[in-house]
């Protein structure tokens, strides 16, 4: 970039670079070479009345679009330029007998807005960059635009759907018809959010002719579970499974199949694809809210292999998580409709989805409808949990390596006082863990009378090391073997999928200890007890963790893993 350039020239250089990246050949009006390319952005093309358009876009020698370039300082009022760009789009171009141009941009090279004048009630929208010429060719072949095709959606076939799902899908249909770019579905854990999502995705593919839809998650575990649900889904108007009708691809590399119609991906992987970088697969194991949070937003740049029009829709599962500061640019890179799914939205979630809540179905409503079961809360307090403790000088204590867990004796030189926040992190007090487990064990006859086995229980630990301490003490206190209590974390040696399948379907394990691997989005219907042995700073995260126990289950199915039950699951 030449330092002597004026702001308009700087903006045009940025626009030229973006057009080239999107596959356009840039030529000047006085030296157009149709043999060089069929997809050309021509600079400074004149209209019949002598006005000069900044860029006219041609595909197959036919003008289809216009770009009105402005200096960066004018970005704050780009919408006021729409009249000028529309005037060029509706004018006759010099030497051409053209129809009005449908595709119109206003751009500073930093901020770009786009209008498709074939849309009903054409409305400009911000886009990350310019569309590829092949996209315009494809769009022009269709009789209707995507936004027109929303009106082709037939009445919903409600067979097999709950009332809350029917309400969500019908309201989402209206949101699409009203050209709302973002919509939020709030539905209680256990009410069938993913089933609802697959149902409206099926409708978008079948009736709206959506090209490709991205189902976005934030952990590999959720992606694998979503893939299984797509494979199991059978529409109520067809005897074939979803995956027999449409190609579903769970992304495990940077490759996106050209014939894929649904892509399942973690947001971490999609970011790495846009950046053209290899993904450290450990990044997919934990959701970004729980693992790491860089201080600065992650920079996303245009990737010619993944254009902004790669997807028509993005469905964001568990969208309540604190991902927007970190990954918002990934969501806003694509020229798409965004649909969020969550049980526990917060103010930031509502704001991100423009307050367009198409479904509100609370846990209380789910209990009233018999979709979920209610819960009872028992509190186990210890002095150490509340206040910490003090060790006196000259005492001998175990010093343990966190990773190897190797112990050595050491005498304290001075008094050592620790707080409750240090407990189970810097300081381990086995007696505190033992007292909690004993109190839990002693309360079970009151909570679950007439049971001969321990109800399926999930314990949330602070760390992997803390989980190991809990497991050892649980096995001792219940006088049971290894199969009785197992760990399921990202770092555990035993295959977590195998442990999860056993926990769901087999008698053992009765108790599973986790950190946060199955805190959200994982169904374990026979689960009847949750024991929190860690702090939960976020109310929403607590609600998600609590949601693991809300699933209903009939008596016969519950008996398969808990033989002494005499009724269906009624509470947890």
pLDDT digits (tens, 9 = 90+) for 167-185: 999 999 999 999 999 999 9
DSSP string, 216-244: EESSHHHHHHHHHHHHH---TT-SS-HHH
pLDDT surpassing 60 at residue 2: no
Report the alpha-carbon distance of residue 555 to residue 538 in Å, rounded.
34
| Domain identity same for 99 and 164 | no
Quote the percentage of the chain above a pLDDT of 70: 84
Please tell me the pTM assigned to this model: 0.84
| Domain identity same for 156 and 130 | no
CATH number at residue 126: 3.90.1570.30
| Domain identity same for 123 and 155 | no
State residue 338's pLDDT score. 97
| Domain identity same for 179 and 326 | yes
Within a 10 A sphere around the Cβ of 376, how many other Cβ atoms?
Answer: 7
In sequence order, the 6+-apart residues with CB closer than 8 A to the CB of 378 are 443, 447
| Domain identity same for 339 and 456 | no
pLDDT surpassing 50 at residue 420: no
State residue 320's pLDDT score. 62
* pLDDT-based confidence at residue 152 (cuts at 50, 70, 90): very high
> Are 555 and 565 contacting, i.e. CB atoms less than 8 angstroms apart?
yes
pLDDT surpassing 50 at residue 408: no
Strand partners of residue 418: 389
State residue 158's pLDDT score. 96
pLDDT surpassing 90 at residue 543: no
> Are 150 and 176 contacting, i.e. CB atoms less than 8 angstroms apart?
yes
Give the model confidence (pLDDT) of 357-379 as tens digits. Answer: 999 998 889 888 887 777 777 77
**Which is more confident, 290 or 35?**
35
Identify the H or E element spanning 541: helix 539-546
> Are 461 and 514 contacting, i.e. CB atoms less than 8 angstroms apart?
yes
- The least confident of 93-97, 307-311, 369-373 is 369-373
| Domain identity same for 59 and 161 | no
State residue 527's pLDDT score. 85
Look at the chain and report how many structural domains it folds into. Answer: 3
| Domain identity same for 222 and 324 | yes
Q: Calculate mean pLDDT across residues 397-426.
A: 46
Residue that the structure tokens 């969020």 belong to: 340
Q: Locate 222 and state its tokens.
A: 């959720």
Identify the H or E element spanning 273: helix 267-275
In sequence order, the 6+-apart residues with CB closer than 8 A to the CB of 379 are none
Q: Calculate mean pLDDT across residues 67-80.
A: 78
Domain assignment of residue 418, yes or no: no
Residue-range definition of the domain harbouring residue 116: 7-138
pLDDT surpassing 60 at residue 60: yes
| Domain identity same for 121 and 208 | no
CATH number at residue 273: 3.40.50.300
Grouping H, G, I as helix, E, B as strand and the rest as coil, residue 161 is: coil
| Domain identity same for 291 and 162 | yes
- The least confident of 77-81, 273-277, 288-292, 477-481 is 288-292
Report the alpha-carbon distance of residue 99 to residue 82 in Å, rounded.
19
Give the model confidence (pLDDT) of 438-490 as tens digits. Answer: 988 998 998 888 889 999 889 888 888 788 888 989 999 999 999 999 988 77
Q: In degrees rounded to 5, what are phi and psi of residue 24?
A: -90, 140
> Are 131 and 307 contacting, i.e. CB atoms less than 8 angstroms apart?
yes
In angstroms, what CA-CA distances link 165 with 14, 28, 198, 199, 231? 46, 55, 11, 9, 20
The b/e string for 165-198 (b: 16+ C-beta within 10 A; e otherwise) is bbbbbbbbbebbeeebbbbbbbbbbbbbbbebbb
Pairing between β-strand 511-514 and β-strand 457-460 as defined by DSSP bridges? parallel
Domain assignment of residue 434, yes or no: yes
Q: Where is mean pLDDT largest: 221-230, 366-375, 519-528?
A: 221-230
Peptide bond preceding 439: is omega within 30 degrees of 0, i.e. cis?
no
| Domain identity same for 183 and 310 | yes
Domain assignment of residue 386, yes or no: no
State residue 521's pLDDT score. 55
* pLDDT-based confidence at residue 568 (cuts at 50, 70, 90): confident
Report the alpha-carbon distance of residue 15 to residue 392 in Å, rounded.
70
State residue 157's pLDDT score. 96
Report the alpha-carbon distance of residue 334 to residue 260 in Å, rounded.
17
Domain assignment of residue 420, yes or no: no
Strand order in the sheet with 125-127: 25-28, 39-46, 52-59, 62-69, 103-107, 112-116, 125-127
> Are 15 and 76 contacting, i.e. CB atoms less than 8 angstroms apart?
no
* pLDDT-based confidence at residue 40 (cuts at 50, 70, 90): very high
Q: Calculate mean pLDDT across residues 91-113.
A: 91
Structural domain ending residue among the three candidates 138, 172, 200: 138
pLDDT surpassing 70 at residue 382: no
Grouping H, G, I as helix, E, B as strand and the rest as coil, residue 27 is: strand
What average pLDDT does the structure give for the chain?
84
Structural domain ending residue among the three candidates 315, 346, 368: 368
State residue 168's pLDDT score. 97
Domain assignment of residue 378, yes or no: no
Structural domain ending residue among the three candidates 96, 112, 138: 138
C-alpha angle 481-486-488 in degrees, rounded to nearest 5: 170
| Domain identity same for 173 and 118 | no
Domain assignment of residue 564, yes or no: no
State residue 354's pLDDT score. 93
Report the alpha-carbon distance of residue 47 to residue 275 in Å, rounded.
40
Q: Calculate mean pLDDT across residues 25-36.
A: 89
DSSP string, 33-96: -TTT-SEEEEEEEEBTTS-EEEEEEEETTEEEEEEEE--GGGGGGGGGGHHHHHHHHHSPBTT-
State residue 522's pLDDT score. 67
pLDDT surpassing 60 at residue 424: no
Domain assignment of residue 387, yes or no: no
Give the model confidence (pLDDT) of 498-520 as tens digits. Answer: 888 898 899 999 999 988 766 55
Domain assignment of residue 572, yes or no: no
* pLDDT-based confidence at residue 246 (cuts at 50, 70, 90): very high
The b/e string for 396-420 (b: 16+ C-beta within 10 A; e otherwise) is eeeeeeeeeeeeeeeeeeeeeebeb
| Domain identity same for 115 and 162 | no
């Amino acid at each position: 970039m030449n330092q002597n350039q004026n702001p308009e020239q700087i903006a045009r250089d940025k626009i030229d670079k973006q057009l080239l990246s999107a596959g356009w050949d840039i030529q000047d009006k006085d030296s157009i070479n149709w043999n060089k390319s069929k997809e050309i952005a021509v600079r400074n093309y004149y209209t019949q009345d002598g006005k000069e358009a900044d860029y006219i876009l041609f595909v197959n020698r036919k003008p289809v679009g216009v770009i009105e370039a402005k200096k960066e300082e004018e970005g704050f009022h780009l919408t006021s330029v729409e009249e000028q760009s529309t005037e060029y789009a509706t004018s006759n171009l010099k030497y051409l007998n053209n129809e009005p141009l449908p595709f119109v941009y206003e751009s500073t090279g930093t901020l770009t807005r786009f209008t498709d004048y074939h849309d009903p009630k054409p409305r400009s929208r911000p886009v990350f960059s310019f569309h590829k010429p092949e996209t315009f060719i494809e769009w022009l072949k269709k009789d209707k635009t995507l936004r027109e095709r929303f009106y082709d959606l037939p009445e919903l076939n409600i067979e097999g759907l709950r009332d809350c799902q029917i309400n969500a899908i019908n309201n989402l249909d209206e949101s699409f018809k009203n050209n709302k770019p973002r919509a939020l579905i709030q539905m209680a854990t256990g009410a069938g959010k993913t089933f609802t999502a697959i149902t409206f995705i099926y409708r978008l593919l079948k009736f709206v002719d959506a090209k490709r839809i991205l189902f976005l998650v934030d952990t590999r575990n959720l992606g694998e579970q979503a893939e299984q649900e797509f494979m199991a889904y059978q529409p109520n108007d067809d005897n074939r499974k979803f995956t027999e009708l449409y190609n579903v691809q769970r992304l495990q590399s940077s490759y996106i199949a050209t014939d894929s119609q649904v892509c399942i991906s973690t947001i971490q992987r999609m970011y790495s694809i846009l950046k053209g970088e290899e993904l450290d697969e450990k990044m997919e194991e934990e959701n970004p809210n729980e693992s790491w949070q860089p201080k600065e937003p992650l920079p996303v740049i245009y990737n010619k292999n993944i254009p902004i029009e790669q997807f028509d829709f993005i469905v964001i599962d568990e969208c309540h998580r604190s991902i927007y500061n970190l990954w918002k640019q990934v969501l806003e890179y694509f020229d798409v409709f965004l649909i969020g799914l969550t049980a526990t939205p917060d103010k930031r979630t509502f704001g991100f989805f423009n307050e367009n809540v198409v479904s509100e179905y609370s846990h209380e409503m789910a209990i009233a409808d018999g979709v979920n079961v209610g819960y009872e809360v028992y509190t186990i307090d210890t002095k150490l949990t509340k206040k910490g403790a003090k060790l006196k000088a000259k005492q001998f204590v175990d010093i343990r390596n966190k990773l190897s867990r190797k112990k050595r004796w050491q005498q304290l030189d001075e008094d050592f006082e620790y707080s409750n926040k240090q407990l189970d992190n810097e300081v381990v007090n086995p007696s505190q863990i033992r007292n909690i487990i004993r109190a839990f064990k002693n309360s079970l006859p009151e909570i679950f009378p007439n049971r001969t086995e321990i109800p399926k229980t999930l314990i949330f630990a602070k760390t992997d090391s803390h989980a190991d301490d809990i497991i050892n003490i649980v096995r001792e206190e219940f006088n049971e073997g290894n199969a009785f209590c197992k760990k399921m974390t990202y770092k555990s040696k035993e295959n977590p999928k195998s442990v999860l399948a056993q926990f769901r379907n087999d008698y053992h394990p009765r108790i599973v200890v986790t950190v946060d691997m199955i805190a959200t989005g994982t169904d374990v219907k026979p689960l009847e007890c949750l024991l929190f042995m860690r702090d939960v700073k976020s109310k929403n995260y607590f609600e998600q963790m609590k949601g693991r126990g809300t699933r209903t289950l009939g008596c016969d199915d519950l008996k398969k893993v808990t033989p002494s039950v005499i009724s269906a699951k009624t509470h947890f």
